[in-house]
Structure 1
């Protein structure tokens, strides 16, 4: 059995820590969107595609509009993220495309936070659409960053694939894969739980959670780069 390259294992741990923080941010943002922006998602596009197709029920036309807008803008964010040049994993001493994408994601999240706070966490119909667009674009950039990190069997904004890999790992793979995937699934739920609690207890502060998780991700990346210097 071959030995694991310490540098490769260190890079994998760094990448995984960033993915956990991105997953927390995605869960937090989706909870805000679903509970505060008309019952849509800004990261989980599978749910939105179903919402677009659900004809009938109260206010279904507006719901379909919001879900469709989220899908379109999310794809625009993905396109911009995948088009950004630069190394994917950030293994060198200089910031990678992953870092730049998370910074762009953070900038959009701060715009969202400012608007969310100024409207007292109760946006009107037009501002709701604007906030959905801003958050969906941010999530598209974030998913593009996570894909560039690229740890097999782990996704951040939608964890059906990760949940599938988790169950598969319980049957055929090692305990390390199983634990890492379980943490990712738990992180999405934890992020959503924290946001939903804040929406009930201090609604204006709920929008601050995703930027906090993104800042922690950037600190993690900066620490990695400092170790390589």
Structure 2
């Protein structure tokens, strides 16, 4: 087997993780009641609506989602510092195990509700578990500093795709990567919606956890070092 110096095995991994973002957001928005656990922009906006008294928006789920996301990011930051001088692959594997465990715990809890929406403390527990998982993910991926692959946010990706295009006078850098990120989250959201509508909240969360774990295991087993950035 020959090594392709231009191939970065982290790119397909992050595209796969982008797809899991769609799965998690499908679960949270459709199954937990208009709350995001992977993307905090929507929660901040919805929290503003709730504070203003807009009908249909209650502030507790958004506060729990934001707080748990921040807790996950804090935990990931501490883990990253402990692994600063160690293998990146080992660090990402630990992050995958943490995220998968949290997502599978959330899936296990939601199994008791079948296709019904959870309520009360169980609802907040699922929001918190998925929020911590995605906060941990975001803080971990941020450390990699791979352009156009945040795995959760597409605003800058779409902006760059158009602003740097040939039509705008640019050279269209990372176009395939940017398009791939958009399609991955779109596909994850569509598949997640089908899963939750047919099988309930546990299905997209369980699938997301499996993809995170086994995708990272495949990256961990890749035989060559990743290119430097």
Q: Distance in 2 between matches of 1:160 and 1:88?
A: 33
CA contact (8 A) 1:87 1:96 kept: no
3-state SS of paired residue (1:158): coil
CA distance in structure 1 between the partners assigned to 2:146 and 2:26 by the alignment: 25
Structure (1 or 2) with the greater helix fraction: 1
Q: Which residue of 2 aligns with 1:191?
A: 188
- Aligned pairs for 1:89-104 (under 5 A) are 90=87, 95-104=89-98
Alignment of 1:1-229 (within 5 A): 6-7=4-5, 9-10=6-7, 12=8, 14-54=9-49, 55-60=52-57, 63-84=58-79, 85-87=82-84, 90=87, 95-121=89-115, 122-170=117-165, 171=168, 172-174=170-172, 177-203=174-200, 204-224=202-222, 226-227=223-224
- RCO comparison, higher one (Cα < 8 Å, 6+): 2
Alignment root-mean-square deviation, CA: 2.1
* TM-fit CA distance, 1:18: 1.1
How many angstroms apart in 2 are the aligned matches of 1:68 and 1:48?
8
Q: Which moved more, 1:156-165 or 1:181-190?
A: 156-165
Q: Where does the alignment leave 5 or more consecutive residues of structure 2 unmatched?
A: none
Q: Greater CA deviation, 26-35 or 148-157?
A: 148-157
